Structure 1
Amino acid sequence: MTTMQELLIRLGLRPPADETVLQPLRTALTHTSAGLKINHEELEFLGDAVLRLACAEFLEEHNPTLSVGDRSGIRAQLVSDRWLAELAAELELDGLIVQGSATAADPTAKATVRAECCEALVGAVYLAWGGADGGLHAVRQWLDPHWQRSSLELASDPHRHNWKSALQELTQAQKAGLPVYATAEENQSHGDPRRFRSEVSINDQQHGTGWGPSRRLAEQEAARVALAQLRPPSGS
């Protein structure tokens, strides 16, 4: 069994009789950093549009009572780079992605490469399974089970992975001041989970400290800690 056939099994798609139609999938998994003439960029552009349309259809079918605003918020998480990178890791795309040696050796680039190639893979599946004549169905066949699982996780915690937004909503509801973040770079080691340190304060009172490999992630962690302090206990 070839690695491409194994990937199709992970995607939940039936291998086509003519394997030449799978060329878009190979292109999607060829990152620009490899320096090859054919790469993932155009398929990533297509995949972005297909991904949003497919997810809009999914939410319309499974969450028809939600407002357009709520659906937009959920879709933003279900098509985010973070979600795509996690999906790529689950699919074990790392072993199939062709990329430059410098990029492969950079731990901070891993999530970005995964997300970009996974989005390109969406565009590739759309094309390989017929484009306007069946491609969207194939994308839905692949992604719907993952969206169903993620939707359940989001239902239990609507602000999953977006702690800063949740903290700001909470402070606004409590008529407290807006959160203020003081973030500093502690060292310059790329990929170090404690490279940045962030403290979040509300009304000049510190409520949380977080660490992360980037400013954004350090601030998200600080917000998560602050939320745990400020939210009333469950059932109270």
Structure 2
Amino acid sequence: MELSQERTKKITQLAKSLGVNFKDISLLDTALTHTSYANESKNNIVHNERLEFLGDAVLELASSTYLFNKFPEMPEGEMTKARASVVCETTLANLSSQMKVGDYLLLGKGERLTGGSRRPSILADAFEAIIGAIYMDQGWQIACEYVLNKLQADLISIEQGYNLKDYKTILQEVVQGRGQCIEYKLISENGPDHAKIFSFAVIVEGKPEGTGDGKSKKEAEQRAAFATLQRYNII
């Protein structure tokens, strides 16, 4: 179905903010069309699930190739864990939120009324579909570079070791072995709702031992645990 002038103008704005000059802007429109919208429409509208399938494959291959080349000594199992920690719903939903993808989604009435434009699963799927659209429109090289650019912060945290081990579990064992108590305290949360940064402190026996920041509370706690383990000269 031919896009309206208003819709074309709107998604062209998104394409500009994405930094992608689409040859076929209708691919981006399809990437933003949820199944609920297509199902409710009387017209023969294509939803985003096929592009989502394609985008998922692009994300996996791009991140796998990066890990394979960047960490030549990393075993297959560790690469699988590292990839899963980066290409996950939370990360992809956060990226969608940062790009305000929810403002451009076409959703069915029910999804719209129940906050579908902010639902992590829908946002993550839309991000995958957008990657699929970029791949179809621009080819592998551009799509791969785009993925690695968007995942850069998470890939860097793998290099620093944050995503490969459960540092909270390691620290818990250390602290319990000493007969001490541990807790994680939220210090601050800054930024807009779609791009918050959380700061946590590790408190051992009532004393602050390490702090960490992250895009999620879980990530911030892991980084605080990592900092504490460093302070204890354990890692």
Partner of 2:201: none
Question: Residues of 2 paired with 1:106 and 1:4: CA distance?
Answer: 23
Secondary structure, in 3 states, of the residue corresponding to 1:39? coil
Question: Residues 47-126 of structure 1: matches in 2 within 5 Å?
Answer: 47-107=55-115, 110-126=119-135
The superposition leaves residues 110-129 of structure 1 with CA deviations (integer Å, 9 ceiling, x where unpaired) of 11110111111111211122
Partner of 1:143: 147
C-alpha displacement of 1:32: 1.0
CA 1:124–1:233 in structure 2 vs 1: closer, same or farther (change >3 Å)?
closer
The superposition leaves residues 143-189 of structure 1 with CA deviations (integer Å, 9 ceiling, x where unpaired) of 222222222234446249x9xx544455678897xxxxxxxxxxxxx
CA 1:4–1:139 in structure 2 vs 1: closer, same or farther (change >3 Å)?
same
CA 1:10–1:235 in structure 2 vs 1: closer, same or farther (change >3 Å)?
farther
Conservation of the 8 A alpha-carbon contact between 1:11 and 1:142: no
The superposition leaves residues 186-235 of structure 1 with CA deviations (integer Å, 9 ceiling, x where unpaired) of xxxxxxxxxxxxxxxxxxxxxxxxxxxxxxx99x69xx59x86xx65724
Are positions 1:41 and 2:42 aligned together? no
CA 1:72–1:233 in structure 2 vs 1: closer, same or farther (change >3 Å)?
closer
Question: Residues of 2 paired with 1:166 and 1:107: CA distance?
Answer: 34
**What code does the residue aligned with 1:110 have?**
R
**What code does the residue aligned with 1:24 have?**
L
C-alpha displacement of 1:29: 0.4
C-alpha displacement of 1:22: 2.6
CA 1:233–1:166 in structure 2 vs 1: closer, same or farther (change >3 Å)?
closer
CA 1:90–1:137 in structure 2 vs 1: closer, same or farther (change >3 Å)?
same
- Structure 2 residues without counterparts, runs of 5 or longer: 1-7, 178-215
Partner of 1:234: 231
Q: TM-score, normalised by structure 2?
A: 0.62
CA 1:235–1:175 in structure 2 vs 1: closer, same or farther (change >3 Å)?
closer
C-alpha displacement of 1:8: 2.7
How many residue pairs get aligned? The number is: 180
The superposition leaves residues 99-143 of structure 1 with CA deviations (integer Å, 9 ceiling, x where unpaired) of 1232223247611110111111111211122xxxxx221212212
Question: Residues of 2 paired with 1:80 and 1:95: CA distance?
Answer: 22
Question: Residues of 1 paired with 2:229 and 2:170: CA distance?
Answer: 14
Are positions 1:9 and 2:13 aligned together? no
Partner of 1:29: 32
Question: Residues of 1 paired with 2:36 and 2:48: CA distance?
Answer: 10
Identity %: 25
CA 1:61–1:148 in structure 2 vs 1: closer, same or farther (change >3 Å)?
farther
CA 1:51–1:235 in structure 2 vs 1: closer, same or farther (change >3 Å)?
same
Q: Which moved more, 1:98-107 or 1:43-52?
A: 98-107
Q: Which moved more, 1:64-73 or 1:87-96?
A: 64-73
Q: Which moved more, 1:107-116 or 1:143-152?
A: 107-116
Root mean square deviation of aligned Cα? 3.5
Q: TM-score, normalised by structure 1?
A: 0.62
Partner of 1:184: none
Conservation of the 8 A alpha-carbon contact between 2:12 and 2:25: no
